[in-house]
Structure formats: structure tokens, C-alpha cells
């Protein structure tokens, strides 16, 4: 049993000129070690692990490629030293960069590759996100998604701040009570109120659209059967996700503004 690359490594060691710190006897022992069954087995296991990690890092992109092209891309990446990164996200990002460089531009395959890479990067950015400090206002965490947040907010009295925020407000000097932060408008305009009322329905519609598009892309035979539809669906999904993120951000900003205004009103 011989591992891939063992013959090249043996030839490199055997052809190395002798040095004072490593004589011919030591080099001969090293060659024997490289050719030993145990060493070859270890290299085979390592190679198999690298191939598996690389293939797992780009499942979506590789799934739409022909079998031979998929196998060749993974093997070429491992030969270049791929599959050894400790962090799976770093491995995936680097491998997808490599795959993208081997795909046609433009092509549906490249679009899918970049979309998968963007998903990994967004996931990593979300993991590293930290809530802003108190200078940015009040930060409240809710368990679950957007719909769960709406349900939890509905359970609390409208306009009443959390207990922690209420204690902070009571500890402030009396001269500051009822005063809005500098630059904050005392009332919302018509467009803001209308957007705040309509955004929840818009967000729900976008979530439904995204679920439907994901269901279409879940068909493993879609790309082979209808590449044009696959590309159009992937692009529509990216647009819908961007619109959803923008709508949720706008709703959160307006809702926080409404709460701050109501909490600063006399008698709040």
C-alpha cells in the first residue's frame, strides 16, 4: 500500500545532498520510514479526510457540476494544500474562491458558487456581531425569529420600556425627564407611521417568497433539467433576501423611534 505522493517524497529525500547535521544513514532511515506501511496508511487517511472536508465545504456548488469535474476540482484543491484549515468557514471561503476561478464567467455555476460563498460570509459576520453600546439606544434581545419577536412584544404593554431601561430612566436627574435625545423628532411623520403599519405584512410576504424559492432550488435535478430557471430562481432568491433584510432593518428603526417618543412623553 502506497500513499499518493509517497514516491515523489522518497525521491526528494534520496536525492538530497548529505549535510553535517543529517548523514546518509539518517536519510536512509527517513526513506524507509516514508515507504513504511504505517506512514503510507497515515497519508491515505489524511488525504481522504482533506477530500471529504473540501467536498463538504462547497456542497451546493459541487452538486450542479458534472461528476468528473467535481472530482477533479476537489483533488486539485487538496494537491494545493486544501482541506487542512482548522476553521470550516475559512476552508469553505478559500475553496469556493478556487472553484470560482475554474468556472466560466458568466455562468449559472459561477452565480451559484458566489451565492454559496456569500452565505458563508454572512453567517460568519452574524456570529461575530455584537450589540451596539448604550449610545446607540436600547438593545433588546428576543428568542426566535421576526414573528416570535412580534408575538413577544405584543404581550408587553404598548410603550412600556423593559424593567432595566425603566430603572435607568428613574435614576436620571429630574431635569432630564420627558426630554428627547438631541436630534430626535418629537413625532413621526405620516410616511413613517404608514411604513411602520405596512412593513410587517411586507416582511411576511418576503419570508413566504423566500421559502418558495428555496423549495424550488432544493430540487437536485433542477439545474440539469432547466439551467435557465435555476439561475433565475437563484437571482430572485438573492434579491428577496436583500429586500427582507432592508425591510426588517427599516421596521426596527421605526419601532425603536416610536418607543423612544412614547417613553419620553409626559406620563409615560
Q: What are the pLDDT tens digits along the chain (268 aa)? A: 344 455 555 555 555 554 445 677 887 887 878 778 887 888 788 888 888 888 888 888 898 899 999 999 999 999 888 888 878 888 888 999 999 999 988 888 899 899 888 888 887 777 766 655 544 455 566 666 666 666 666 665 544 444 444 444 443 444 444 444 555 445 778 888 888 899 999 999 999 999 999 888 888 788 888 888 888 888 898 899 999 999 999 898 888 888 888 877 665 4
pLDDT at 157: 53
Residue with cell 407611521: 193
Nearest Cα to Cα of residue 6 among 48, 29, 37: 37
Nearest Cα to Cα of residue 217 among 60, 58, 57: 60
Question: pTM for the complete prediction?
Answer: 0.41
Nearest Cα to Cα of residue 114 among 132, 140, 128, 96: 96
- Residue 58 CA, chain-centre distance (Å), reads 13
Distance CA 100, CA 89 (A): 16
Query: Strand, helix or coil at 162?
Result: coil
Q: Is the dihedral of CA 143, 144, 150, 151 positive or negative?
A: negative
pLDDT at 198: 92
CB atoms within 10 A of CB 44: 15
**pLDDT tens, residue by residue, 194-226:** 888 999 999 999 999 999 998 888 887 888 888
Give the residue extent of every domain in the chain.
54-126, 142-264
pLDDT at 164: 41
pLDDT at 37: 82
Q: Which residues pair with 22 in a beta bridge?
A: 19
Amino acid at each position: 500500500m502506497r500513499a499518493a505522493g509517497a514516491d515523489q517524497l522518497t525521491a526528494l529525500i534520496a536525492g538530497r545532498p548529505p549535510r553535517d547535521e543529517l548523514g546518509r544513514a539518517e536519510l536512509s532511515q527517513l526513506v524507509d520510514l516514508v515507504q513504511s506501511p504505517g506512514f503510507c496508511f497515515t497519508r491515505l487517511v489524511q488525504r481522504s479526510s482533506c477530500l471529504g472536508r473540501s467536498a463538504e465545504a462547497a456542497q451546493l456548488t459541487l452538486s450542479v457540476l458534472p461528476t468528473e469535474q467535481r472530482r477533479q476540482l476537489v483533488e486539485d484543491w487538496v494537491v494545493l494544500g486544501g482541506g487542512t484549515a482548522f476553521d470550516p468557514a475559512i476552508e469553505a471561503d478559500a475553496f469556493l474562491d478556487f472553484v470560482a476561478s475554474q468556472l466560466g464567467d458568466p455562468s449559472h455555476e459561477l452565480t451559484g458558487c458566489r451565492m454559496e460563498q456569500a452565505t458563508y460570509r454572512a453567517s460568519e459576520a452574524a456570529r461575530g456581531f455584537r450589540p451596539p453600546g448604550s449610545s446607540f439606544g436600547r438593545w433588546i434581545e428576543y428568542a426566535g425569529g421576526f414573528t416570535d419577536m412580534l408575538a413577544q412584544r405584543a404581550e408587553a404593554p404598548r410603550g412600556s420600556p423593559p424593567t432595566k431601561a425603566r430603572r435607568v430612566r428613574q435614576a436620571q436627574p429630574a431635569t432630564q425627564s420627558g426630554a428627547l435625545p438631541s436630534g430626535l423628532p418629537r413625532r413621526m411623520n405620516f410616511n413613517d407611521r404608514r411604513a411602520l403599519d405596512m412593513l410587517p405584512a411586507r416582511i411576511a410576504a418576503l419570508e413566504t417568497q423566500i421559502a418558495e424559492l428555496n423549495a424550488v432550488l432544493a430540487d437536485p435535478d433542477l439545474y440539469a433539467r432547466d439551467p435557465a430557471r435555476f439561475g433565475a430562481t437563484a437571482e430572485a432568491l438573492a434579491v428577496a433576501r436583500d429586500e427582507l433584510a432592508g425591510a426588517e432593518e427599516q421596521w426596527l428603526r421605526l419601532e425603536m423611534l416610536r418607543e423612544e417618543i412614547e417613553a419620553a412623553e409626559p406620563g409615560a
